Structure 1
Amino acid sequence: MDVEENNDDASEQGYDMHSDSPHPVNKTQIEIESTEIEDRDYVSLFEATKELTIASITCAGGLLLRRTTEIFNYMVLGRLGDPNLVSGAGLGNSTINMTLIALGLGFTGAIETLASRAFGRKNNYLAGCYYTRAQVILTIILIPICLLFWYLTPILIYLGQEVEVSKVAGRFVRAWIPGTFMFVQTEALRKFLVAQGQYSFMTKIQLVTAMLHPLWLYINVYCFNLSIEGVAFSTVITHSLNFLIAYVWITLDQSIVKEGCWHFVNKDSFIGYFEFLKFAIPSFLNLGLEVWSFQFIHFRAGFLGTTQLGASVILMNLQTFLFMAPFGTSLVASSLIGNSLGASKPKTANMYIKAIIATVTVITVTFTLCLMVFRHQIAAIFTTNEGIRQEMVTGILVTSLITFPDGLHTALFGIMKAMGYQHYGTPISFVCYWMFAVPIGYYLGTNSKYGLRGLWIGYPIGLTILCIISLYLILRTNFKKLSQKVVEKLEVQKLNLEKPS
């Protein structure tokens, strides 16, 4: 049986558009039939790969630039000579990853699903409503997150982390609080732009802000002697500039976005929350289950000692940096496939899927080989501490094995988001991460001689299983039927909204 949404499936209604058809037809059915003809002229694999590669490089560039700011942060902290600063920033960033980044990148997955489909159907106003709904929801959810940041130090001490490291982590995330709104809103805006095929705008802005980031670090850390707070303040400045420049620029020059999609929060932003949350919550949980598992392993590294935790901090950020390339491809995948489904072009969607899998495979295998060959040089870049450097050299050999399956599963999940299959991903992610990767890593990392390396060993196994299951679900899907259902839903949504005059 094909894996797809079967409730009220449009494909089961027996459409017949001929004039002598005995079945009554409606406007939605006519639209579906007419757009099916267009898909006879679908893109070739070469064209799909070319388009995907150019878009992915541009989109991933912005994500890599965002991670570059964190790499600069750790380079500065690592050269201040205090392992507690690196370890404390690591624990602080772990908290940010488990909450803010999981929220900003996960919850906004609904934009990838819904807005990309609406743009494919040329229903630009509806796509804009999905974006403003995300703005409202993300702002509300920030309240408990900021409270967590404020009281992080006593929480970490209660959980058994070293007192001095916990204090540094608490100082770091408290200083981060003013940037929480800007960060999540930047990610929502990025996905909204990508959903309409605007891949380069945010990247250009982030290129400028990333170049300015070392200046903020120099002023705050070395001129004002703000130490860990200076690093956090510099990051807040960079994230704030990313969002404010982009938002103001688009407001003043709306030719950057598709006509009719850019509007402020209005009455239509406060309806349809159930549909939005239906995709947002599973997207958040899918990414959250992954991020939380990595952060749990990273948290356990804190019990191995300051040196091991410092190495784990750098390894985690290096792996996350490399993760941005396939994640950029994942965003583009959601856009291109979502657009194709909304435009009733299932053959085109299938061609993009083949191109996505091939592209991500090449990227991640290249990363894996580079990590293995240049592990000594990479470790030397990040730290002058000999103990941390030795832990990194051995750790990179293990973490490099994660790069390919992690990148592939990220791209596959981008495809699943465009298909609206987030709900399938949640139980799969739970099993692969929390029944394979985490238990294996926990056992080998804390009950054997492997130490820090052992904490990471379970991930190649869990991620490989995740890739196999995700690929099976995608290949078993009937995209023609799925596209028909998507179009019908979009037409219903269009009728339910009254566009302001």
Structure 2
Amino acid sequence: MNSFGKYAAQYPHLVRLGVPITVGQLGTIVLGFADTLMIGHHSLQELAAASFVTNMFTLALLFGLGFSYGLTPIIGRLYGQGKAHEIGVALKTGLAAGAVLTLALIAVMSLLLLNLSNLGQPEELLSLMRPYFIVNLVSIPFVIGFNTFKQFFDGISRTQVPMVVMLTGNLLNIIGNYLLIYGKLGMPEWGLFGAGVSTMLSRLFMCLVLVVLFFRRRTAYRTGFMQAKVGREDFVYQNKQGWPLALQMGMETAAFSLSSVMVGWIGTTALAAHQVMLTISQLGYMLYYGMAAAVAIRVSNYHGRQDYACADTTASAGFQLILLLGVAISVPVFAFRHVIGSLFTDSGDVISMVSMTIIPFVVYQFGDGMQSNYANALRGLSNVKPLVYVAFLSYFVITLPLGYFLGIYLDAGLVGIWSAFPFGLTVAGVLYWLCFRRTLHKEACLI
């Protein structure tokens, strides 16, 4: 088989696994767009308040999502070996570890809630931020539970199941937004708080559906789950896999979420434009993640079979598909950069600021795609420790300080802060690739 042929042979498998994940992520993006659109047209102040709170919770929830990712390569490797009973045991251990993480996240976010007034945000937004913050706090357990069960279904290659559940939940959320933000059909007009209530209820729904789908049939997975006792060794291993991934995703998200604090120093208009840009940027990230998650699943299957040549080919094929997605995203976004902001608000200042910030957004798509692909490839090999060090260097040492220097010190504003992202993301992508190559070589030599 020629060089292209070996990659092309992987495309159908990656697409089959990745498209349902991508479609589910698109549902999340539609939800984010709907939330931002509806809130923005209800009140500019509510849009700015939503920006800060949403980004603080994005940091916390993606931290939790990263932790749950540690379960996927464990299940994927066991699935490649045909060990269904052990998969049920792994899921139960993952839920136990996730419960501990949930308590930690609630404690941290509660502390943040108590200190909202000390974070330098506009005073007029605090009364809008607090109730929206509280209702998001209540929904954390549902998010962690859903993510854990989602990794189970993804790991056994049933990616269509969480896709359908996510799309259904997001549709219910959009309907709930319409009713509770604007007070339709006799419902109270709660504005931003109504959007939070709707989101919480949809998260509860999605979590409960996956739980029911797992337990409704007698399978070897369920038998393993019911018979298992959470052992100390398995619990420690789950945490060893989960925490580095949580820290990696947390630091990556922090590059964007903590930038919201700096943007808040600039003013309400910049904060509103920042929220619009974050909603747009999720398009690329979520699409990349769908394909990259497929790479993690396939690589973990090959890892279980000790077939490292195919693991290497899969990672390269995944990156090729992600590059195609990057072009598909960047071209229309750049072409319509002057009008995209008008979808979210009527403010001319916000629309203008968004059009300028789209330029660094387009520039960083290559680095974002590369880091997403090879971080997931490393996850598939269960070598997650390097992710922490690379993420710290790329996002805390490079991106955040550079964003402060360009945006605040040089007074380049929102565009300056966003211009730091291409540097950090590209450094992360290159270093993840190098770590993946080194891990493959090491694993192959141990056979």
Q: TM-score range by the shorter chain?
A: over 0.9
Matched residue SS, 2:282? helix
Map of 1:182-197 to 2, 5 A cutoff?
182-197=142-157
**What is residue 216 of structure 2 aligned with on the other side?**
252
**What is residue 262 of structure 2 aligned with on the other side?**
300
> Which one of 45, 51, 57 corresponds to residue 84 of structure 1?
45
Distance 2:161 2:25 in 1: 12
Matched, 1:51 2:24: no
Distance 1:446 1:287 in 2: 25
Structure 2 counterpart of 1:208, one-letter code = T
Q: TM-score, normalised by structure 1?
A: 0.83
**What is residue 55 of structure 2 aligned with on the other side?**
94
1:264 positional shift: 4.1
Task: Give deviations 1:282-304, integer Å, cap 9, x for gaps.
Answer: 11111111111211212100010
Distance 2:227 2:202 in 1: 25
> Which one of 235, 239, 245 corresponds to residue 203 of structure 2?
239
Distance 2:223 2:364 in 1: 39
**What is residue 122 of structure 2 aligned with on the other side?**
162
Aligned-residue CA RMSD (Å): 2.1
**What is residue 320 of structure 1 aligned with on the other side?**
282
1:473 positional shift: 2.1
Distance 1:475 1:261 in 2: 38
Contact 2:68–2:94 (Cα < 8 Å) also in 1: yes
**What is residue 386 of structure 1 aligned with on the other side?**
348
Map of 1:334-483 to 2, 5 A cutoff?
334-478=296-440, 481-482=443-444
Structure 1 counterpart of 2:92, one-letter code = T
Listed as ranges, the gaps of 5+ residues in structure 2 are none
**What is residue 286 of structure 1 aligned with on the other side?**
248
Distance 2:36 2:264 in 1: 17
Pair 1:79–1:264, CA change in 2 (3 A):
farther
Matched residue SS, 1:444? helix
**What is residue 91 of structure 2 aligned with on the other side?**
131
Distance 2:61 2:221 in 1: 31
1:376 positional shift: 2.1
1:322 positional shift: 2.3
Distance 2:438 2:445 in 1: 15
> Which one of 117, 122, 137 corresponds to residue 177 of structure 1?
137
Contact 2:273–2:350 (Cα < 8 Å) also in 1: yes
Distance 1:330 1:484 in 2: 26
Task: Give deviations 1:107-163, integer Å, cap 9, x for gaps.
Answer: 112112211111111122222222212211222222243344445444121122222
**What is residue 227 of structure 1 aligned with on the other side?**
191
Distance 2:394 2:109 in 1: 29
Pair 1:384–1:253, CA change in 2 (3 A):
farther
Count of aligned pairs between the two proteins: 439
Task: Give deviations 1:192-245, integer Å, cap 9, x for gaps.
Answer: 111111111111122222222222112222221112210001101111111111
Structure 2 counterpart of 1:238, one-letter code = S
Distance 1:55 1:213 in 2: 26
Distance 1:387 1:218 in 2: 26
- Higher mean C-alpha deviation, range 69-78 or range 370-379: 370-379
Pair 1:293–1:264, CA change in 2 (3 A):
farther
What is the aligned-residue identity percentage? 17
Distance 2:54 2:165 in 1: 24
Structure index of larger Rg: 1
**What is residue 16 of structure 1 aligned with on the other side?**
none
Contact 1:195–1:334 (Cα < 8 Å) also in 2: no
Distance 1:483 1:94 in 2: 43
1:372 positional shift: 1.0
Distance 2:211 2:140 in 1: 16
Q: TM-score, normalised by structure 2?
A: 0.92
Contact 1:120–1:343 (Cα < 8 Å) also in 2: yes
Structure 2 counterpart of 1:202, one-letter code = P
Distance 2:223 2:358 in 1: 45
Distance 2:423 2:171 in 1: 38
Matched residue SS, 2:294? helix
1:476 positional shift: 3.2
Structure 1 counterpart of 2:133, one-letter code = V
Contact 1:69–1:235 (Cα < 8 Å) also in 2: no
Task: Give deviations 1:5-45, integer Å, cap 9, x for gaps.
Answer: xxxxxxxxxxxxxxxxxxxxxxxxxxxxxxxxxxxxxx932
Distance 1:148 1:108 in 2: 18
1:305 positional shift: 0.6
Distance 1:423 1:348 in 2: 23
